[in-house]
Amino acid sequence: MKKWASIKNNLPAILFLSIIAGAWEAAVRLLALPAHILPSPTAIVMALIESFPLLAMHTRVTFTAVLGGLALSILLSLLLALAMDRWKPLKQALYPILVISQAVPIFALAPLILIWFGAGLLPKVLIVTLVCFFPLTVNLIEGFSQVDPEAVDLMKTMQAGQLMILRSVQIPSTLPYFFSGLKIAATYSVLGAIIGEWLAARAGLGIFMLRSMHSFRTSQLFASIIVVVILSLILFKLVELTGKLAMPWHKNTQENFKG
């Protein structure tokens, strides 16, 4: 029943995309548009099938950078959020700088990272980390600020140490905020890896895109875009599933609230 409900909820979106694809196919055929200007959906699907082995190889390279950047951003954002929650002057000093840093476009920072660390996996991981760091940190800071102070005081009266309070009260209360930020970060992470590959790399989906563009293989370019979208959706769903497994009480609370 749940699967049918999920299919039913997504049916309007599937129908809308089907209409768009049909109109696209008809327009390309009726107007006789050149393939290098706008390929038809069937040409894109054929390019996806024909280039699948090559796309799979490039996807593995990009996915490695994505996982490395996500892992590093989670570690750094957790440490910084904990420090800012523990020492309020540190939060007052760093939080405005954290917000202002988002005014600096990643395209301006990426060349500097490449100059400092050269081409290869490391600069791509660092660019993904920069892209993912802000939403994770801000959500974690917000989560720690929403922890029930009475629950913390109760743990202190029970002679609980700081580590016990963190594990029993603060982390469970902050997990919903953490996974909300991680959903955003997971979606942005693929974009961050591709930006790094556009600037300097030997392999990856970004390189595949550039090569397809320079050779006017527009259908392959669209095929790589489809792979990027699928990869982002997979990461989003993995984070969503992990959140449900890590927070079964949160799902039950939401259902009770709706009921």
The pLDDT tens digits of the residues spanning 187-227 come to 889 988 998 888 877 888 999 999 998 888 999 999 999 99
Residue 201 vs residue 127, higher pLDDT: 127
At 6, the pLDDT band (50, 70, 90 cuts) reads low
By C-alpha distance, which of 184, 189, 97 is closest to 140? 184
Give the pLDDT mean for 65-93.
91
At 8, the pLDDT band (50, 70, 90 cuts) reads low
CATH topology for the 44-244 domain = MetI-like fold (1.10.3720)
The proportion of the chain whose per-residue pLDDT surpasses 90, expressed as a percent, equals: 36
Give the pLDDT mean for 147-167.
80
Quote the pTM value.
Answer: 0.83
Domain boundaries, the chain: 44-244
Structure tokens at 49: 């099938």
| pLDDT of 55 over the 50 cut | yes
Directed axis angle between helix 205-214 and helix 218-246, to 10°? Answer: 160
